[in-house]
Chain A
Amino acid sequence: MTTTPIEAAPPRSPGRLALARLRADRPAMAGLVIVAVLVALSALAPLITWWTGWAPETFDKSAIDPDLGGLPRGAWGGVSAEHLLGVEPVTGRDLLARVLYGGQVSLLVALAATAITMVTGLALGLLAGYLGGWVDTVISRLIDLLMSFPSLIFMIAVLSVVRDVNRLVLLVTVMAVFGWTVIARIARGQVLTLKHREYVEAARVGGAMTGHVLRKEVLPGLTAPILVYATQSIPAYIGAEAALSFLGVGVRPPTPSWGQMINNARGWFMTDPMYLAVPCFFLGLTVLAFTLLGDGLRDAFDPKEEAS
């Protein structure tokens, strides 16, 4: 490749600069690729299970040995041409199908929770920071209140008590209720510094409406930190969903989920390590990929941090 002299390049916008830095960041790009593959695999789960012929809920009595307590037949937890990642002990359900459908649940919950917390957190943070006064007081105290809550215990309680609702919606709602606070705080802090910048003051003096100032002048300054934080919070939500399902209050069987699979596999880790390894690997890989991507984004938007 012929290198274009940097000096000759036209001046680039901060966004483009960040993108260029991100492209050069190998771990971040690896994370991005893995994320893309995982998303594609989860989205194509119905197609893949149609091809393998094993739906996530279908029992396969022939794949397990009832005389040994339901241990999968064959080496590596029953890995075969029929079941590419082996089967679940006792039921003989296909692990590939379950882990892919479990990925749908994990990604869906994490992305939805992130989107909701982003929008809510950003809106409330902007209002609190820009308007100040009693609006700021109310929102800030609400943030303090929610942050001082033992959120995991509260989530477990809510999820165990509430009945007859869509579990996915409930999971997302409960996580979002506790999740928006951090974003709101970051946004509020940024707005407090931004709103006294000359260009913002100038716009206000020039007669711009509050809405316009917020959207056109303040919000762009928030993009970088919020984007970074959102990417980093996705793995946290995936972990939280897994933890809640692990504790038995997440999605309900027979809908598979990684946390639930890991919970069931605990007792088998000595005799059928594959059963534990498969969901752990996918969970670990997903969290790692999103974390790498998030770190890369942070470095790209804020190169000063690179040194630390």
Chain B
Amino acid sequence: MRRSAGLLAAALVTLTACGTKAEVVTGGENGKGGTLTVLATSDFSHLDPARNWTMREMMFGSRLLYRTLTTYKAGSSEIVPDLATDLGTSSDGGKTWTFTLKDGLKYEDGTPIKAADVKHNVERSMAPDITGGPDYAKNLLVGGTEYKGPYDGEHLDSIETPDDKTIVFKLKRPAGEFSYTVTLPTFSPVPEAKDTKVEYDNRPFSSGPYKIEKYERGKELVLTRNEHWDATSDPVRLALPDKIHVKQGQDGDTITDRLIAGSGDDANAIGWLHVGQQSLSKILPNPQAKERLVTMVTGCTDWISFNTPKKPFDDPKVRQAVYHALDKEAIQTAFGGPNMAEIATAYLPPTMTGGAKQDVYAIPPAGDVEKAKALLAEAGVALPLKVKMTTTTTSNTTETAIQESLKKVGIEVELNPVDGAVFNDHSGDLAKADEMSVHGWCPDYPNGSSFLPPILDGRNVMPTGNSGNTAFFKDGEVDKKIDEIYTIEDPAASNKAWQELDSAVMRKLPMAPIAWAKRSFLFGKNVTGVANHPVWAAQPDYATIGVKKSS
């Protein structure tokens, strides 16, 4: 998923890459029952599983409202079977994947969940009206890009449901990572009889542990137990609270202040959004608030995209010079300091490399000005070098820090602030883009195939609308390597190959990685089992959250 620049609000506190940090308050039976309150500033983007492609909502939907073929363990990027009995079996060299559903799975009205319902949701995700959802199914399935959805009676032949329990996917290319792909909400069941098309966003039909009792968009969402959900069939969701009440339309600072105080009902509350940089200084010096804070890296990487087809950054030496000149400490502070970001040294975040931080250049954190000047001289660039960097009108601290560090080596960066709404259009336009801009990427599942190809594959570069490959980077060798890695079926071997590709591309440096952002969340003192999830951008995993009786 694209990470829009400028949205680096985020989080804090200690704790490095991996995230088991639930010991603060104990969960388990202690947290069973009660009402969990979620304090949110605004409405969900989408809860319809075919349209849900934002990290928070993907977590919320697939933990509480719908089950997918496979899913992640609580607080871990390891996958386990969910609706399916196993992680899927592949044949035909990884191009055909078969899943079998568990017995006795039911919707909120007691009707059985059928394989055809999963097929229906995948099909509807490709309908032109059902916008916003992940495009992996569309791009992977045979005939997916031409298919226009099930609403005019056409069905997609590359998904077969020979019986109510079996579903077979036929793919265009070998996909060793397909067990991960089916964790996406696209692969949850929606029965055709309950499909209200665009309206489905307002009232998804539950296959998970909770059902929607009331949903007033922008105001509140009330979830109550789905009595037909069978805990024994579900290895992940604890479904502890009896009721979950999402209160929307609250002011962000007010939410933080209420959670810091944690009095009354707020003791049973958790913040939907991460804590902002400005609030850190209110929380960290306050021990009773600090112990109710969980923090983790988001699994996203932020970088400076160079406009690689254009002078002066068509020369890798100039790009490397910029990279050496960067004062990453100052940039880290612009992100909110060590509690809100780690200094990035590679494209793949540590959450995707088993915690290893690859670092090809090993530059000191505050930069290497001498080396940068030497590289510029080697490239024969006339100084001062004048370049432009796109930024947004609302948030440009990071860009200002970059500007300041490049000044030391004679690179004069002019900031070009554009409205946040057009930032991606502007910086993704091959003809109009400035020389530099800050972008980022969050993977949809913890496999290199969800990270490196979208940002590096030169065949994806279009004249306009580039949101992944924002460096417009075209390199035949890299494209070839991507195709090779796709064919590796063993997930461990393919992840290793992606890491090697990461290091290889770092030497060419189409983008200069700057930060691995962290996020922190505050919760009330009665809330139990809060642990960030590494896949959903460090959002606390609602599968394990409970509320204990106040003592």
Whether chain B is bound by chain A comes out as: yes
User: How long is the Cα–Cα vector from A68 to B13 in the complex, in angstroms?
Assistant: 9
Given A69-B12, A160-B418, A248-B393, A91 and B334 contact (CB-CB distance below 8 Å): yes
**Chain A residue with Cβ nearest B341:** A66
Q: CB distance A59 to B401 under 8 Å?
A: yes
Q: CB distance B278 to A254 under 8 Å?
A: no
Q: CB distance A252 to B415 under 8 Å?
A: yes
For residue A43, give the distance in angstroms from its CB to the closest CB of chain B: 25
Q: Answer yes or no: B469 CB below 8 A from chain A CBs.
A: no
Q: CB distance B414 to A252 under 8 Å?
A: yes
Given A59-B330, A252-B417, A267-B278, A67 and B337 contact (CB-CB distance below 8 Å): yes
Q: CB distance A66 to B337 under 8 Å?
A: yes
User: How long is the Cα–Cα vector from A253 to B340 in the complex, in angstroms?
Assistant: 23
**Residues from 177 to 226 in A contacting B, C-beta threshold 8 Å:** none
Q: CB distance A271 to B393 under 8 Å?
A: no
Q: CB distance A90 to B397 under 8 Å?
A: yes
User: How long is the Cα–Cα vector from A209 to B336 in the complex, in angstroms?
Assistant: 70
For residue B313, give the distance in angstroms from its CB to the closest CB of chain A: 19
Q: CB distance B330 to A69 under 8 Å?
A: no
**Residues from 253 to 302 in B contacting A, C-beta threshold 8 Å:** 253, 257, 276-282, 284-285
Q: Answer yes or no: B34 CB below 8 A from chain A CBs.
A: no
Q: CB distance B393 to A69 under 8 Å?
A: no
Q: CB distance B282 to A271 under 8 Å?
A: yes
Contact with B along A245-256 (1 / 0, CB 8 A): 001110011100
For A59, the chain B residues whose CB sits under 8 A away are 330, 401, 404
Number of interface residues of B (CB under 8 A): 39
Q: CB distance A254 to B404 under 8 Å?
A: yes
Q: Answer yes or no: B447 CB below 8 A from chain A CBs.
A: no
For B277, the chain A residues whose CB sits under 8 A away are 69-70, 90, 267
**Chain A residue with Cβ nearest B334:** A90
Given A90-B333, A270-B278, A271-B279, A69 and B418 contact (CB-CB distance below 8 Å): no
Q: CB distance B400 to A253 under 8 Å?
A: yes
**Chain A residue with Cβ nearest B284:** A68
Q: Answer yes or no: A61 CB below 8 A from chain B CBs.
A: yes
Given A61-B329, A268-B278, A66 and B415 contact (CB-CB distance below 8 Å): no
**Chain A residue with Cβ nearest B393:** A248
User: How long is the Cα–Cα vector from A69 to B394 in the complex, in angstroms?
Assistant: 18
**Chain B residue with Cβ nearest A275:** B278
**Chain B residue with Cβ nearest A66:** B337
Q: Answer yes or no: A57 CB below 8 A from chain B CBs.
A: yes
User: How long is the Cα–Cα vector from A77 to B78 in the complex, in angstroms?
Assistant: 45
- A-B complex: 3 closest residue pairs judged by Cβ atoms: A248-B393, A66-B337, A69-B280
- A-side interface residues toward B, CB under 8 Å? 57-59, 61, 64-71, 89-91, 160, 163, 247-249, 252-254, 264, 267-268, 270-272
- Since A69-B337, A249-B393 are in contact, a sample of 20 more A-B pairs with Cβ atoms closer than 8 Å, ordered by chain A residue number, is A59-B330, A59-B401, A61-B333, A66-B329, A69-B12, A69-B279, A70-B277, A70-B334, A71-B281, A90-B333, A90-B334, A90-B336, A91-B334, A247-B393, A248-B419, A253-B400, A253-B415, A254-B415, A268-B278, A272-B281
